[in-house]
Amino acid sequence: MSGAAIATHELLKSYRGKAALSGLTLDVPKGALCGFLGRNGAGKTTTMKLLMGMIRSDGGSLEVLGKPIRTEADAVAVRRRVAFVSEEKELYPFMTVGQTIRFTRPFFPTWRKDLEERYLKRFRLPLDKAIPKLSKGMRTQLMLLLAMARGAELLLMDEPTSGLDPAMTEDVLQELAALASAEGVTVFFSSHQLAEVEQICDRVALIDQGRLVIEGDLDDLKAQYRRILLVFNRDAPRELETLTGVDSLRMRGRTASLLVHEDVDGLVKRAQLMGSLSVEVRPVALKELFLDHVRED
């Protein structure tokens, strides 16, 4: 676990008896650019708060950058090395851009003045502009600046592109990708925009109802998973439900759609024995993986 940027084992968290995390086991290696996917209420924000030591877990263990978070002192130490950008992207409305930077800088001995200047120039952020007068995109850029310049080793971002226009979204994504490759920073970000995740991430973790459903390198997952489309001359047989090694199965009339990730050829053969007229095997997109694993039907 110690080589990982994030390592959780059977993490539990509930709010007033309602489970938010039901045994989350997650492993994100250092240097990864990992997309964190899940439906609303799946437990993404709770996971991020736990990783920042903002809330306490009810059970299980977690390590951030090789350090366990058990006490508030652990959490404070971790927060010196980790940056968090919340979904709301709210900063202090009584400060200007310059004041916000001056306020944040002294908390981090590893502050990178060169990165501060670089991103101020790149994002064209006016130092004397009050925070409430910044657009949401500019607030996101300022938060990115604060996160990057503090010299964080791990960047946690909760839906960093929500509310941004396409051009700004592209800028933010490019910056994240550049940061991960140039500075060796681990980026762990949640998003509902699967295309974004597919665009820049080398790794994904998908959770549903507080548990990990899929985790791994994006390319490996895409290579591993296959969609098998079957057409029968009658209603799709119920025996399909007995097939092992099927991640998800949908049957509609004479057609059936299977998501599989092992022994594809074997499954095709068994399906043909059930009388399918045609069989099509094709690669799957991240969106399909996501939908097949979280859809309730």
Partner 1 sequence: MLWYKAWLETRWRFGFLLLCSIALMALPPVIPAPQARWWIGFEMQISLLGAFAAVYMAGSGINTQTFYAATSGFHGSMYFTLSMPVSRLRLLLTRAGVGAVETAIVISVNVAESLYFHPPLGTTIQQIAVFGVRSIICSMAVYAMAVLLSCLLDEMWMFTASLIVVGFLYPLQFHNNWVGWLNPLRGMNLMTVPITAPMPWLTMASSVGIAAVLFWVSATLVRRKEF
Residues in contact with partner 1 by CB under 8 A are 15, 52, 54-56, 72-73, 76-77, 79-80, 83-84, 86, 88, 90-95, 99, 102-104, 106-108, 143
Indicate the residue among 144 and 218 with the shorter CB distance to partner 1.
144
Indicate the residue among 73 and 223 with the shorter CB distance to partner 1.
73
Alpha-carbon Rg of the chain, whole angstroms? 22
How far apart are alpha carbons 14 and 23 in whole angstroms? 11
Indicate the residue among 185 and 194 with the shorter CB distance to partner 1.
185
Instruction: Tell me how far, at minimum, the Cβ of 52 lies from partner 1, in Å.
Output: 6
CA within 13 Å, CB half, 174: 9
Instruction: Tell me how far, at minimum, the Cβ of 265 lies from partner 1, in Å.
Output: 49
Instruction: Tell me how far, at minimum, the Cβ of 106 lies from partner 1, in Å.
Output: 5
Concatenate the DSSP letters of all residues of 86-154 into one string: -SS----TTSBHHHHHHHHGGG-TT--HHHHHHHHHHHT--TTSBGGGS-HHHHHHHHHHHHHHTT-SE
How far apart are alpha carbons 96 and 76 in whole angstroms? 26
8-state DSSP, 182: H
Indicate the residue among 47 and 276 with the shorter CB distance to partner 1.
47
Instruction: Tell me how far, at minimum, the Cβ of 89 lies from partner 1, in Å.
Output: 9
Q: Report the Cα 60 to chain-centroid distance in Å.
A: 20
Instruction: Tell me how far, at minimum, the Cβ of 120 lies from partner 1, in Å.
Output: 18
Q: At residue 63, what are phi and psi to the nearest 5 degrees?
A: -130, 135
Instruction: Tell me how far, at minimum, the Cβ of 133 lies from partner 1, in Å.
Output: 13
Indicate the residue among 93 and 245 with the shorter CB distance to partner 1.
93
Report CA torsion sign: 120, 125, 128, 133: negative
Indicate the residue among 161 and 276 with the shorter CB distance to partner 1.
161
Which residue type sits at 135? S
